[in-house]
Every structure is written in C-alpha cells, then in structure tokens.
C-alpha cells in the first residue's frame, strides 16, 4: 500500500512538473488531465478532485475539513483492457487521531462491444446514488439509507452486459468483507446484481439486490427523470435479516432545477428506519441547497442547509454545509 501511494505521488508530481523526466520519457502535453505515453508503455491519465468543507451547527460551532482528496490513475492496455488505481484521503479520525489515506479502487477491466468484466476492488453495483460519484451528486452527502445499507466497495469480480442505450445488467461476486479486506474470513460470498432499463431517453428505472449468506438480503428500486434542466430522482432500499423483526428500510426523493447552466437549486427529503432495533434510530432529514459551477464544471461551490431529526419524536437540528470542489 505504501509503495502504491508513493508511486502515485511521484506520477502526480511529474504531471504537475512536466519538465521532470519519468523513466527517461518526455512529458506529453497536458490538458484536462495529465497523460504519460511511451513507445513501450500504455498511456496513463491522471485526474482527481479535492473537496474543502466548512460545517456549522449549534453546539459544535464552525468546523473546517478537507472532506476528500482523491487521485485517479487510469490507463489502457492493448486487447480491450483498462485499469484504475485510486487512493484517497477522506475526512475522519477524531480529536486525537488524524484522518488517513486509503485505497478506494484497484481493478482491471476487459471490454468487448457490449460485454464488460471487472476484477479487483471497486464499487458493488447497488443503489443509484452510491454508484454515482460523490463529486457529481446534487448534495454534499449521500442519503443516510444509502450510506447505511449499500454494500459499497469490495473485492471480487463482476460481469456487465449493455443493451445499447436501452438498459444494462450487472452481476458480481465479492468477498463480502468490505474494501481493503483481503481475506474472506467466513468463506461465504456477497452476490450483488443490478438491472437498469431506459424505456425512453429521459427516464431510467432500476432494481438491485445484494445477498450475503442466508440471513441477510438487501433490495432496492430507483428511478430518475431529466428534462431541460429539471431532475427528479428517488430510491427505496430495505434489508431483510432472518429471525430479526421488521427490516431496515428507507428512502429519499430529490428534485433539482438549473436556473441557468451554472446555477442549480436542490431539494431533498429522506427517511431511514431501523425498527427492529429501536424507534430512536429513525433518521429524517430535509436538505435545501444551491450548486454553482465554474470553469466548465471544474470548480463547484455547494451550499446545503440540512434539517435533521433523530428518533421518535426526536428533536430537529439544523446544519449549514458549504463546500468548494475542484477537479484536475
């Protein structure tokens, strides 16, 4: 892991200082992302983004964080192969422990026409909001139900078939231990599948499942509609566990509208319940926000006001989030 991060940092340094030789090669011209090319090596593209955030809430007050700093290293290999390595710094830790860098993606992908096979560590194909990059969703954070029930990243293999623009089917088998866990402790596997259909160009509908052993299965359905700057989307997700009361379940619904190409207004409602544990675990939130995009979408300023209520009846608290994001 340390060698990977050192190598990634060295390549990034070369991209920022193009006159510095790398393996005796001359630097290629830079554009939206850096590219290294040699006569005997595949082209490599470097990109990523950084998110700087200010969070304010009564009690804790104002807190500044470097929410994420992500580096993407992408390349192609003759024969229809491509690869990605993606280390990331993500806000975390506590008052005495610093946040750290970890590996997000490391996979090899083979593509032939409408068929794709991916192997390594990557996102499992479960829930629309999770498989969409956090850098492009309309709000600062994903819905609580998505963060709680999506299997997220894991190590395994996945096959995907696409019917042109009409839809796709993805099916993967994973360790079920989560990212950067290289041993399958119980020898059981996590099976994840997602079916997407686009009956018309502006509408997308999907269903997904994730089955882990005989006592845990997660399901989800989602849909989206886009038309002339207006967007509406939502998901409903639930988890059934054998011999444990009512399932965990939740949903979110979001509408957004672009007043002009660089100003977007957003409204999101969400609800997540863990009734088998306690009514005190219910999490409801309303998010109102505005997104400003500059420099062709390379720079994004986001402002969210989140009113959240935990428990039943619970107490509603508000928080203000501002976030500056830039891509390279």
Q: How far apart are CA 284 and CA 311, in angstroms?
A: 8
Contact 191, 170 (CB under 8 A): no
What pLDDT was estimated at residue 59? Answer: 83
User: How many C-beta atoms surround the C-beta of residue 92 within 10 A?
Assistant: 11
H helices present in the chain, as ranges: 2-16, 128-131, 144-149
Most distant CA pair in the chain, distance: 66
Name which of 135-149, 159-173, 265-279 the model is least confident about. Answer: 265-279
* Residue 214 binned pLDDT confidence (cut-offs 50, 70, 90): low
Calculate Rg over the CA atoms of the chain.
21
Q: How do residues 233-252 score in pLDDT, each as one tens digit?
A: 999 999 988 777 789 999 99
Res 28 pLDDT > 60: no
User: How many C-beta atoms surround the C-beta of residue 183 within 10 A?
Assistant: 8
Res 169 pLDDT > 60: yes
Give the up-direction half-sphere exposure of residue 293: CA atoms within 13 A in the CB hemisphere.
Answer: 16
Res 6 pLDDT > 70: no
Q: Which residue has the tokens 């999490």?
A: 283
The more confident residue out of 22 and 96 is: 96
Mean pLDDT across the chain: 87
Structure tokens at 2: 């340390």
What pLDDT was estimated at residue 35? Answer: 52
Give SS3 for 241. strand
pTM of the model: 0.83
């Amino acid at each position: 892991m340390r060698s990977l991060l050192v190598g990634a940092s060295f390549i990034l340094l070369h991209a920022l200082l193009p006159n510095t030789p790398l393996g005796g090669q001359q630097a290629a011209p830079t554009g939206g992302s850096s590219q290294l090319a040699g006569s005997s090596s595949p082209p490599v593209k470097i990109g990523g983004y950084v998110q700087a955030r200010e969070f304010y809430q009564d009690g804790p007050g104002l807190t500044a964080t470097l929410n994420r700093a992500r580096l993407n290293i992408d390349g192609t290999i003759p024969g229809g192969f491509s690869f990605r390595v993606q280390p990331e710094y993500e806000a975390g830790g506590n008052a005495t422990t610093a946040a750290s860098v970890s590996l997000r993606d490391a996979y090899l992908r083979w593509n032939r026409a409408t068929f794709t096979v991916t192997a390594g560590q990557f996102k499992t194909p479960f829930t629309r909001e999770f498989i969409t990059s956090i850098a492009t969703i309309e709000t600062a954070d994903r819905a609580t139900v998505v963060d709680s029930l999506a299997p997220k990243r894991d190590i395994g293999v996945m096959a995907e078939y696409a019917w042109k623009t009409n839809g796709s089917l993805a099916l993967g088998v994973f360790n079920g231990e989560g990212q950067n866990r290289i041993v399958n402790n119980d020898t059981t596997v996590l099976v994840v599948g997602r079916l997407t259909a686009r009956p018309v160009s502006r509408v997308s509908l999907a269903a997904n499942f994730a089955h882990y052993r005989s006592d845990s299965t997660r399901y989800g359905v989602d849909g989206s509609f886009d038309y002339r700057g207006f967007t509406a989307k939502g998901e409903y997700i639930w988890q059934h566990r054998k011999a444990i009361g009512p399932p965990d379940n939740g949903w979110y619904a979001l509408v957004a509208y672009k007043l002009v190409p660089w100003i977007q207004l957003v409204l999101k409602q969400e609800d997540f319940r863990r009734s088998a544990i306690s009514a005190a675990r219910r999490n409801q939130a309303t998010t109102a926000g505005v997104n400003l995009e500059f420099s062709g979408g390379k720079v994004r300023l986001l402002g969210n006001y989140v009113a959240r209520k935990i428990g039943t009846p619970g107490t509603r608290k508000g928080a203000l989030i501002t976030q500056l994001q830039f891509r390279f």
